[in-house]
Structure 1
Amino acid sequence: MSSLTVRLTDREERDLQLACEQTGKTKSEVVRDLLAESLRGYRLRQALQKAHTELGGAARQAGWLTEEDILQDKS
């Protein structure tokens, strides 16, 4: 496992400490959990942006502007 040093503002330090107290986890555990969650969201956004770039034009040509349009399309 590697380590990383991060500088926190006073507010971030207080928030992190509160999260530790509420969860019973160490600072490292809380930060790892939050980082993993954030990275999952980042990867999802990247995948959606890629799909939009690759498929957006075809979807608009098919008349799909929303997720509801796709679900209602019977073709």
Structure 2
Amino acid sequence: MSTLTVRLTEREERDLQLACEQTGKTKSEVVRELLAESLRGYRLRTALQAAHSELGPAARQAGWLTEDDILRDVS
């Protein structure tokens, strides 16, 4: 396990303290959980972007609607 030092704004510190009080967890526990959750989301977004880059052109060529097609129509 390693140590990480993070500089927080006053608001972030208040929010973190509130989360600790509400959950009964330490600052380290709350931050580790939030970081793990954020990293899972990051990995998922990265994987989806890679799949989209690889499969998107073939899907459009096959006539399938892609996320980009739907989002462009909404704009």
TM-score of the aligned structures, taking structure 1 as reference length: 0.85
Secondary structure, in 3 states, of the residue corresponding to 1:2?
coil
CA distance in 2, matches of 1:66, 1:57: 9
Runs of 4+ in 1 over 3 A off after TM superposition: none
Q: Which residue of 2 aligns with 1:11?
A: 11
Q: Identity across aligned pairs (percent)?
A: 90
5 Å matches for 1:1-75?
Answer: 1-66=1-66
Distance (Å, rounded) in 1 between the aligned partners of 2:24 and 2:60:
49
Deviation at 1:60, TM superposition (A): 0.8
CA distance in 2: counterparts of 1:13 and 1:57, whole angstroms: 45
Equivalent pair of 2:20/2:30 in contact (CA under 8 Å): yes
CA-based RMSD: 1.1
Per the normalisation by structure 2, the TM-score is 0.85
The alignment of Structure 1 onto Structure 2 pairs a total of residues equal to 67
- TM-superposed CA distance for 1:64, in Å, is 1.7
Q: Which structure 2 residue ranges, 5 or more long, are not aligned? A: 68-75
More divergent stretch after superposition (23-32 vs 58-67): 58-67
